[in-house]
C-alpha cells in the first residue's frame, strides 16, 4: 500500500463540494478529459504533488468543524487504493464521504473486481456523484454537479438494496 497520493490540491474548508462543511482532496490525473472541465489542470497524471496519507489524516483529525470528506479530481477512482484508506479512516472519525467520478456507477460496478482498490473504495463512499461532465448538458442551477447527466447517488443504500437510490439535493 502506497503511503502517498498524487494530488492536484486540497481545500480544507468547502461548502460547495457536498453537503455540510467539507475537506476536499483533488486527485491528479484523469483519463476522461471532459470538454469544458472546470479542473483541466488535473488531467495530467504527472502533475500535482505527492502528499503523505498520514499528514492528510492528521489534518482532517485536527479540524473539528468538518462534516465530511469529498474525493474529487481529476479522477479519484484512478487512486482508489489510497482514497479507500483515507475514506476508511475518515469514516472511523464519524465523518461522511462523497466522491466525484467521471465513471458511471454502472462502469464502476462492471470493473470493481478488476481495478485495484475500487471495491474497497466503494465500501466507504456515502454519496457518489457519477458521470462525465457534458458541456452540452451544463446547468448552473444544479446543486453539487455540473451537467444534467450526472447523478447524486446514495451509494450504500444502492449497494444494499440493489436498486438505484438518487438523492434530491
- Give pTM, 2 decimals: 0.96
Residue 2: is its pLDDT beyond 80? no
- For residues 98 and 4, what is the distance between their CA atoms, to the nearest angstrom? 20
Average pLDDT over residues 46-54: 96
Q: Which domain holds residue 48?
A: 4-161
The per-residue pLDDT for range 58-109, each reduced to its tens digit, is: 999 999 999 999 999 999 999 999 999 999 999 999 999 999 999 999 999 9
The mean pLDDT of 133-160, rounded to a whole number, is: 96
Contact 80, 118 (CB under 8 A): yes
Q: Which residues make Cβ contacts (< 8 Å) with residue 79, sequence separation at least 6?
A: 5, 6, 27, 29, 117
State how many domains the chain has.
Answer: 1
Q: Residue 59: inside a domain, yes or no?
A: yes
Please answer whether residues 77 and 121 qualify as being in contact, where contact means their C-beta atoms are separated by less than 8 angstroms: yes
Give a yes or no: residue 167 inside a domain. no
Give me the CATH number covering residue 66: 3.20.20.70
- Residue 33 resides in a domain: yes
Amino acid at each position: 500500500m502506497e503511503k502517498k497520493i498524487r494530488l492536484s490540491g486540497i481545500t480544507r474548508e468547502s461548502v460547495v463540494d457536498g453537503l455540510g462543511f467539507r475537506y476536499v482532496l483533488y486527485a491528479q490525473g484523469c483519463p476522461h478529459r471532459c470538454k469544458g472541465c472546470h479542473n483541466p489542470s488535473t488531467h495530467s497524471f504527472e502533475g500535482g504533488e505527492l502528499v503523505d496519507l498520514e499528514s492528510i489524516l492528521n489534518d482532517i483529525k485536527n479540524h473539528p468543524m468538518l462534516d465530511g470528506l469529498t474525493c474529487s479530481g481529476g479522477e479519484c477512482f484512478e487512486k482508489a487504493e489510497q482514497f479507500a484508506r483515507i475514506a476508511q479512516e475518515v469514516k472511523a472519525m464519524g465523518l461522511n464521504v462523497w466522491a466525484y467520478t467521471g465513471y458511471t456507477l454502472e462502469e464502476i460496478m462492471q470493473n470493481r473486481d478488476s481495478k485495484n482498490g475500487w471495491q474497497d473504495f466503494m465500501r466507504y463512499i456515502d454519496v457518489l456523484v457519477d458521470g462525465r461532465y457534458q458541456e452540452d448538458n451544463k446547468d448552473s442551477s444544479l446543486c453539487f454537479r455540473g451537467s444534467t447527466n450526472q447523478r447524486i447517488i446514495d451509494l450504500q443504500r444502492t449497494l444494499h438494496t440493489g436498486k438505484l437510490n438518487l438523492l434530491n439535493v
